[in-house]
Structure 1
Amino acid sequence: MHLTGLPLATLLQIGALAGALVVAFYILKLKRRPVPVPFSRIWERILRDKEATSLFSQLKRFLSLLLQLALLALLLFALGDPRTAANTIEGRNIVVLIDASASMKASDVPASRIDVAKEEVKKMVRGLSGSDRMLIAQMDAAVTPLSTLTSEVSDLEAAVAEVKATDATADFARALRFATDTLRGMSSPEIIVVSDGALGEASDAAGPVELGETKLAFVPVGKGGRNAAITQFSVRRYPLDKSRYEVMLEVTNTSDEALDLELSLFGDGQLTDLTRLKLQPQERLPRFYPNLSGASRTLEAKLALADGGADDLPADDRAYALLPERRRARVQVVSTGNMYLEAALLLDEYLDVTVIDPQRYPGNGNFDVTIFDGVTPNVAPGSGSLLYLNPTGTNVPFEVSKEIEDTDANYRLGFDELDAKHPIVRYTALSDVNIARARVLKGEKEDKVIGSSYKGPLLIQGRRAGVKFVALGFDVRESDLPLRISWPLMLLNTINDFVEEDTGYVSSFRTGLVWHIPAPSNAESGMLELPDGTKRSVPIKEGRAVFLGQQAGFYTLAVGEPGAEEKSMFAANLSSPTESSITPVPELKVQGRTAGEVGEFKIGVRREIWVYLLAAVLLMTAIEWLTYHRRVTV
């Protein structure tokens, strides 16, 4: 028997002091309580029996003293936490990784997979021996420890109760690295993974995770695998008719059986389209919906079985997207007169265009976009984003080289290289544009070259002090660009890029990633409302709010003082065919090593002697109370 609590010397000191106090209390003379009696003959009997009973009275008080000293001894022994030699051997140090990714929301088992996983972990917690220690961690896009490395059952059960499945994929490599770092240098290290097994490779940018001598165990969860998912969903307005939009989505059948499905589209909460689909096993079906109307802000897609039921994973049966807000953009044109420019701006009814002479710049009020046509004045506050057409001066945020002309008979001056995927040149054909003369533009290292001739860049994009700019290095009137539909498209694409900031933003983010959400550049933080209604403060750096999103749905970002804050919305989706493949995996392998089964956890009373000692104290206290009230020990 060994003491693992307070040392013996300390217990002896406490026992000596407490024992002396108990004895002192019993040495004190017991003061008799006066009791009035109605008849004097009673006293004759008491006085006659006094001598015969005095020895028995002292004996009863001595037994009471012994009982109190025994209670004190038991309490001191419990503080010493006595354990047998077998239990004083160092126990296991265990990290339990509970998979909380989207696939754990599957309902192919009672309640859901995450509920079954939590029950399995609770069984382990209740079966811990007195020398074992355990840490509970939630594994999703990040790894979140929910407890310390402890043997306290109440703390561990409270940690298990906090586990909640998210709409993200699990970062298995990060979770394993956390577990191995936590257990490094400890005795009997063990990692237990509770999951449906769809975790991918245990490798990241730093390479494969090495477990070393750490024991790896796996608790499989899940039974079924019938599921269909919306794996892609995006939307955009037409540049020249913002009342209409188009939708691109993809539906995937991740199960091994054919499924009859119904796909519904909702605009601002109202049903706009309903389609019946039949998908073969493992089939991926893209769908394109052009020329849609009826929604002004939010779009939602829902997938259901044709018979009205639901598959095993409802989390990926819904997808969300946000249409760019249809607001009138204020555009200031600083020009001496350009018919081709002014005519192109008339094509968009959501542009509020103000044309002013360079001598009258700046105009009254604030603008979203300012177009400098052949002039480069000092930029005034409130000008918004900047579009330079044929810049010739030096008062620009880039370098303008000397003029070049189309005089080489062997090489035509035009766009020889184009970033065709850039949103400014989307749906345009600029490779065969003929240019009479132009100037080569040279930006900084961070600037983006969109189009170049064989003599240098002609179309660049950048940002200075949080203000975006685009520069075109020639006068459109000295080219055949105004004769093509590409001219108004490129102009409107540029304005849309200025006003809408990022086309990825207006569609949706993907859960499980760190998002950079457009926000006012002068703010330091904002308040983000999540789809479940909770709110969190998020930092803002260089005009972007930074947040790791793990819920699908619509978000609202508020920046500024309450009552005067600027609000913006965005959407997020799961969009993960891997996570939607919910067929459980029976075994888990890490670098060719198969995880073993979990054992040696038995639900029952923990083998700790101090628990029984406290029970004995309670029993003896009950006996003392009973004997006192029965006048046995007094």
Structure 2
Amino acid sequence: MNWGFPLSFLLLAGVIPLILFLHSLRPRGVQIRTTALFLWEKLLRERPIGKKLGWLLRNNLLLILQLLAASILVAALADPSLLFYGAPGGNTVAVIDLSASMKAKGSLGSRFDSARKELLSLIDGMASDQKMMILGAGPVPQILLPFTGDKSKLRDLVETLQPTDAPAPVKEAILIGHSFLRRGSNDRVVVFTDTAFEGAEELPWNSAQLRLVRVEGGDRNVGITGFEMRRFPGGSGRGEIMIRVKNFSSASVRT
């Protein structure tokens, strides 16, 4: 189990004492004077353990339900998800980002190295009745390997993959991969990317048939996304070059 926001569990430190405090404010029973207590003490000692537990549950049922509801709500806020990417019994379409942004490097290697490692881990976890297709999201999305259950073929292909020097229509590749899912099945598309592509925020990442494996490998990511050369009229032989540079990092960069 993986938790997207584990700090949400800190809310229990404030919610549980608040519930206990509010529960202590409820009206208590009426106190009545009596001449002797030994009869009641003997009766309580002779009461079976099961009846004592039942009495405690009946008298504190509201408190128990409130604590249980608060725990479930906080757990939901923590965004739980399974570490197993593929659905049981379903096939997987693995879409791996081959764009230039995947070459960005960090202390642990490039983003593509991280994506390759995650994809190999997913292949190793395949069940014997599962199949996988690998779709490369390069400048032109293409099927690199059709559905197969042969882990050796899958691993050999993944080991040879390399990112390109151009942007890639990753969203288009995801839509192509989705078209191979069987209706009513547990098939899903698993995308290995840094999400540095157009339309990433438009995709339904919370869908049961779409899983995002976001990789990181360095914060600085600046690339040339456009290049054009134009000659001046008049046959002078002179011209101009126009280059479009895009910064995919959160920090500003001087060019």
Q: TM-score range by the shorter chain?
A: 0.5 to 0.7
Match of 1:155 in 2: 153
Change (3 A) 1:243 1:158: same
Matched, 1:219 2:233: no
Indicate if the aligned counterparts of 2:225 and 2:245 stay in contact, CA closer than 8 A: yes
Asked whether the 8 Å contact 1:232–1:250 carries over to 2, the reply is yes
Q: Give the direction of change, closer, same or farther, for the CA distance of 1:147–1:252 in structure 2 (3 Å limit).
A: closer
Rate the CA distance shift 1:258–1:187 in 2: closer, same or farther, 3 A: closer
1:363-416 superposed Cα distances (whole Å, 9 cap, x missing partner): xxxxxxxxxxxxxxxxxxxxxxxxxxxxxxxxxxxxxxxxxxxxxxxxxxxxxx
For each residue in 1:179-203, what CA deviation from the matched residue of structure 2 results, as whole angstroms up to 9, or x when unmatched?
Answer: 2221123631121111101233269
* 1:73-116 superposed Cα distances (whole Å, 9 cap, x missing partner): xxxxxxxxxxxxxxxxx722111111111111112254422122
| Structure 2 residue corresponding to 1:131, chosen from 126, 129, 132 | 129
The 8 Å contact of residues 101 and 168 in structure 1, kept in 2 or not, is answered as: yes
% identity of equivalent residues: 32
Matches of 1:175 and 1:108, distance apart in 2:
26
For 2:225 and 2:177, locate their aligned partners in 1 and report how far apart those are by CA, in whole Å.
31
Distance 2:180 2:95 in 1: 12
Change (3 A) 1:235 1:218: closer
Which of 161, 164, 171 is matched with 2:162 structurally?
Answer: 164
Matched with 2:171 is 173
Q: How does 1:453-602 map to 2 (within 5 A)?
A: none
* TM alignment of 1:618-633, pairs within 5 A: none
Q: CA deviation at 1:137?
A: 1.3
Q: 1:187 aligns with which of 179, 185, 188?
A: 185
The alpha-carbon distance between structure 1 residues 230 and 180, as it changes in their structure 2 partners (threshold 3 A), is closer
- The 5-angstrom pairing of residues 146-295 of structure 1 reads 146-185=144-183, 187-201=185-199, 214-240=208-234, 242-249=236-243, 253-257=247-251, 259=253, 279=254
Structure 2: distance between partners of 1:137 and 1:153: 16
Cα deviations across residues 124-145 of structure 1 (Å, max 9, x unaligned)? Answer: 1112121222211111233222
TM-score for both structures, normalised by structure 2: 0.54
Secondary structure at 1:146 match in 2: strand
- Counterparts of 2:119 and 2:142, CA distance in 1: 16
Residue 252 of structure 1 deviates from its aligned partner by 5.2
8 Å Cα contact 1:191-1:214 kept in structure 2? no
Instruction: Indicate if the aligned counterparts of 1:93 and 1:186 stay in contact, CA closer than 8 A.
Output: no
CA distance in 2, matches of 1:248, 1:175: 29
1:461-508 Cα distance to aligned partner (Å, 9 max, x none)? xxxxxxxxxxxxxxxxxxxxxxxxxxxxxxxxxxxxxxxxxxxxxxxx
Equivalent AA in structure 2 for residue 165 of structure 1: P
- What CA distance in whole angstroms lies between the structure 2 residues aligned with 1:195 and 1:234? 28
Could you tell me which amino acid in structure 2 is paired with residue 95 of structure 1?
V
Q: Is the 8 A contact 1:91 1:133 kept in 2?
A: no
Of 98, 101, 105, which residue of structure 2 is paired with 1:100?
98
Task: Provide the secondary structure at the position in 2 that maps to 1:183.
Answer: coil
- Residue identity matched to 1:138: G
Amino acid in the other structure paired with 1:167: D
- How do 1:277-356 and structure 2 match up within 5 A? 279=254
Separation (CA, whole Å) in 2 of partners of 1:95 and 1:165: 19
Determine the structure 2 residue equivalent to 1:455.
Answer: none
Pairing of 1:392-431 with structure 2 (within 5 A): none
Q: What SS is found at the alignment partner of 1:148? A: strand
TM-score (norm 1): 0.24
The one-character-per-residue Cα deviations of 1:117-173 (angstroms, maximum 9, x if unpaired) are 112111111121212222111112332222222221111112212422123333233
Distance (Å, rounded) in 1 between the aligned partners of 2:114 and 2:169:
21
Distance 1:255 1:202 in 2: 15
- Judging changes above 3 Å, is the alpha-carbon distance between structure 1 residues 216 and 224 closer, same or farther for their aligned structure 2 residues? same
1:298 maps to what in 2?
none
Structure 1, unaligned runs of 5 or more? 1-89, 260-278, 280-284, 286-634
Count of residues in Structure 1 that have an aligned counterpart in Structure 2: 168
Moved over 6 A (4+): 208-213
CA contact (8 A) 1:142 1:174 kept: no
CA separation of 1:228 and 1:140: change in aligned 2, threshold 3 A: closer
Matched residue SS, 1:178: helix
Structure 1 contact 237–245 (Cα < 8 Å) conserved: yes
Contact 1:189/1:215 (8 A) holds in 2:
yes
Change (3 A) 1:193 1:225: same
Tell me how far apart the structure 2 counterparts of residues 109 and 257 of structure 1 sit (CA, whole Å). Answer: 18
* Aligned residues of 1:117 and 1:195 also touching (Cα < 8 A): yes
Q: Note if contact 1:176-1:202 (Cα within 8 Å) is conserved in structure 2.
A: no
Give the aligned CA root-mean-square deviation in angstroms: 3.3
Correspondence list, 1:373-452, <5 A: none
Counterpart CA distance in 1 for 2:118 and 2:162 is: 15
* Cα 1:126/1:183, change in 2 over 3 Å: same
State the partner residue of 1:357.
none
The structure number with the bigger radius of gyration is 1
Q: Which has the higher helix share?
A: 2
Q: Kindly tell me: are residues 241 and 175 of structure 1, through their superposed partners in 2, closer, same or farther at Cα, counting changes over 3 Å?
A: closer
Offset, 1:238 = 4.1
Cα 1:184/1:105, change in 2 over 3 Å: same
Distance 1:129 1:135 in 2: 14
